């Protein structure tokens, strides 16, 4: 299962996306919170197929 999730993440370039979001410059707490939310959302998308497979 982990191999499948890794492959999906690689094809969607999720590690690259997380890296880009992490490198965003933040000027205040609101921007830092937004950056963290973006990273969380990307990671959640990577785990979404895992939850769907478990449910079926």
Chain position carrying tokens 């999730």: 5
Cα separation, 7 vs 3, whole angstroms: 6
The pLDDT value recorded for residue 52 is 57
Q: Residues 9, 15, 43, CA angle at the centre, nearest 5°?
A: 70
SS3 content of the chain, % helix, strand, coil (to 5): 80, 0, 20
pLDDT in tens, 1-56: 678 777 877 888 888 999 999 999 999 999 999 999 999 998 888 777 655 555 55
The pTM of the whole model exceeds 0.75 = no
Cα separation, 56 vs 48, whole angstroms: 13
């Amino acid at each position: 299962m982990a191999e499948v999730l890794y492959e999906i993440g690689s094809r969607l370039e999720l590690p690259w996306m997380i890296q880009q979001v992490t490198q965003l410059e933040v000027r205040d707490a609101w921007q830092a919170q937004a950056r963290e939310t973006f990273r969380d959302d990307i990671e959640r998308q990577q785990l979404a197929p895992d939850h769907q497979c478990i449910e079926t």
